[in-house]
Amino acid sequence: MGLFLATVCACRRPTPEPAAAAPTTPAAAPRATPDTTAPVLTVAQFRQLQPASGTHTLEGYIRRLAPCPPCPAGAECKPCMGDHLILSDKPGPFEGYGTLGEQELIVFAPSREDLNKLEEGQRRRLTVRVTSKQTTALPLHDVELVTMGPPL
């Protein structure tokens, strides 16, 4: 079954939702430290839950890092759905968005710098937040990276 992604008509992902709309998380928590008290889910378990909100801890392989290309001010650039990564329950090369299955998930990154801290092929524990937006054809709301643990 193919999967089509909705695109955003800008080089960068739209401005994140206001902090007041986000679930409360400890403000003092460093960005590189995952929530060790939350249950750890596989991507398949998370997709099966189809949460509409909340913060969740996932563990999987980074199969693709997809930063948006730079777009100079005033230039017209190709649409980009936003800096993101593909998290998967299984290792291996990424075969394309049309092959995303129940074991893969698109995780949006707040910045390109966050993606620069990761490497394709690494197994990582990530804390993610489910947003109220849905810009992909996946049957769930967009998921944003909150924290990342060291490679496992």
pLDDT digits (tens, 9 = 90+) for 127-141: 999 999 998 888 899
The confidence band for 33, taking pLDDT boundaries of 50, 70 and 90, is low
pTM above 0.85, yes or no: no
Q: What is the mean pLDDT of the chain?
A: 82
The confidence band for 126, taking pLDDT boundaries of 50, 70 and 90, is very high
Give me the pLDDT at residue 116, please: 94
d(CA 148, CA 152): 11
Give me the pLDDT at residue 139, please: 87
- Which has more confidence, 33 or 146? 146
Give me the pLDDT at residue 20, please: 42
> Is the model's pLDDT at 147 over the cut of 50?
yes
The confidence band for 2, taking pLDDT boundaries of 50, 70 and 90, is very low
